[in-house]
Amino acid sequence: MAIIAPSILSANFLNLERDIEMINNSEADWFHLDVMDGRFVPNITFGMPVIAAMKTKAKKTFDVHLMIVEPEKYIEGFAKAGADILTVHLEACTHLHRNVQMIKANGMKAGVALNPHTPVDLLKDIITELDLVLVMSVNPGFGGQKFIERTYRKVSDLRKMIRDHGADTLIEVDGGVTLENAGHLIDHGVDALVAGNTVFSAPDPVEMISKLKEVRSV
Ligand code: DX5
Ligand code: ZN
């Protein structure tokens, strides 16, 4: 049974409280929160004040995905805003190891995200330090994009790396996740599924979350 993390990027920003309550009352495990700066990715979303406000109503883990340059400047700020897991992009960090240590020193679990073109091999000297690896299965920036099939292979390679190093790192996949590909992703070794469009465009989002939760390996 995978961890299900609905992505707030696809929620109704005019009525966030209603969508927070929907997730609170569903079988979802985490809130996935996409922070974009208009520099690392060609889109701008929300930041610390919105996350801190959401935290007053939300009852589940905050999985914060930073798509920003120089994330080290804001690690403490996101800890104060209520992030439980903080994920930075490998491509945005010159000193990835230092940033991972900073995230942990601020009391959060540390994640690293990989763009579709970034090989998982680049993580082999840091994998034992990571609580989570987020494999992007679309190019980051927008919800509702088509899943990139190469992701399965990357997840298998990453699963092998984690096993070979005796690490307990979780694998999360983000982008284009549907009821159709969720089973294959679990088969390849995914622990956590992010779902934006699949959840929020469903007629009944709570039911869709239950269906994703029920998916077993195929
Ligand atoms: C994209 C974000 C995703 C996005 C996923 O850059 O990181 O979390 O919300 O949305 P869907 O599930 O619609 O592809
Ligand atoms: Zn994301």
Q: Which amino acid is at 107?
A: G
pLDDT tens digit sequence for 163-193: 999 999 999 999 999 999 999 999 999 999 9
Query: What is the structure's pLDDT at 159?
Result: 98
Tokens describing residue 138: 């679309």
Q: Distance between CA 129 and CA 195 in Å, rounded?
A: 26
Q: Is the CB of 32 under 6 A from ligand 1?
A: yes
Which residue's CA is the nearest one to ligand 1's atom 9?
143
Number of CB atoms found within 10 A of residue 161's CB: 17
Which bound ligand lies closest to the C-alpha atom of 212? 1
List the chain residues with pLDDT less than 50: none
CATH number, domain of 134, equals 3.20.20.70
Which residue's CA is the nearest one to ligand 1's atom 10?
143
Which bound ligand lies closest to the C-alpha atom of 151? 1
Query: What is the structure's pLDDT at 218?
Result: 77
Number of CB atoms found within 10 A of residue 133's CB: 27
Query: What is the structure's pLDDT at 80?
Result: 98
Which residue's CA is the nearest one to ligand 1's atom 4?
143
Domain extent for 173: 3-214
User: To test the ligand 1 pocket, which listed residue (10, 19, 87) has its Cβ within 8 A of the most ligand atoms?
Assistant: 10
Q: Which amino acid is at 67?
A: M
Q: Is the CB of 63 under 6 A from ligand 1?
A: no
Query: What is the structure's pLDDT at 146?
Result: 98
Q: Distance between CA 205 and CA 192 in Å, rounded?
A: 18
Query: What is the structure's pLDDT at 15?
Result: 97
Atom of ligand 1 nearest to the CA of 176: 14
Which residues is 33 bridged to in the sheet? 64
Q: Number of structural domains, the chain?
A: 1
Q: Is the CB of 140 under 6 A from ligand 1?
A: yes
Q: Distance between CA 130 and CA 145 in Å, rounded?
A: 27
* Average model confidence (pLDDT) across the chain: 98
